[in-house]
Amino acid sequence: MAPRTATKAPGHPDILSPRLILRLMTGDIVNACLAPDLPRAEALLGAHIPPELLDHAASLHWAKTRLDEDPAYQPWSARALIFPAIQTMIGHLRFHARPDAPDLHPYARNAVEFGYTVLPAHRRHGYATEAAAAAMRWATATAGVTAFILTIAPHNTPSLALATRLGFRRVGRQIDEIDGIEAVYLREAPALPRLVSLPS
């Protein structure tokens, strides 16, 4: 079980799962990563950030744009996936927008879409599934989100398997400007097994 840790973003506690800490990356952290000034980003985050994170920086650029446009997006922005045993960031997860974004209305109301990246050295250990389940539980408990969306390229076998494990079903497809054809997957708010039990 992940230990208790100090909250790094005031008003935005960590999300805990059995093996991970999902810690909000504030605008200052995102900007430091993109500068790039990883020592400053690490000091703000409270964890080591591998340089290869910058090889997967599209989500950080998205987060910066969203935060600049809409400061209220902050709780839904990128969260570092931190492996506490070594205090190292192994990936990140983010919601694409605040709940009930208009582009999701054709599939569900009061929904959020999310995406994730696990750095190559830490793949195939179930971290993405664990983080996604914890993030969905958080969104349901704190904001009353009632549905979740994933968009997945047809060749992305690991993400297709994750969607199946978490009970998503295919409801459509779309063409992404960058990634091309993607399948759209939906699941209602989770009745997931409890992932963390904090000590009293």
| pLDDT value for 64 | 93
Tally of CB atoms within 10 A around 61:
12
How far apart (Å, rounded) are the C-alpha atoms in residues 142 and 62? Answer: 23
| pLDDT value for 198 | 36
| pLDDT value for 129 | 95
| pLDDT value for 180 | 67
Question: Cβ distance 95 to 139 under 8 Å?
Answer: yes
Q: Are strands 79-83 and 21-24 parallel, antiparallel or unpaired?
A: antiparallel
| pLDDT value for 4 | 35
| pLDDT value for 195 | 44
Q: Which residues pair with 175 in a beta bridge?
A: 181
pLDDT average per 10 residues of sequence, the chain (200 residues): 44 92 96 95 96 88 92 94 95 95 96 95 94 96 95 92 95 76 90 42
Class of domain 15-188: alpha beta
| pLDDT value for 9 | 61
The domain limits of the chain are 15-188
Question: Cβ distance 190 to 136 under 8 Å?
Answer: yes
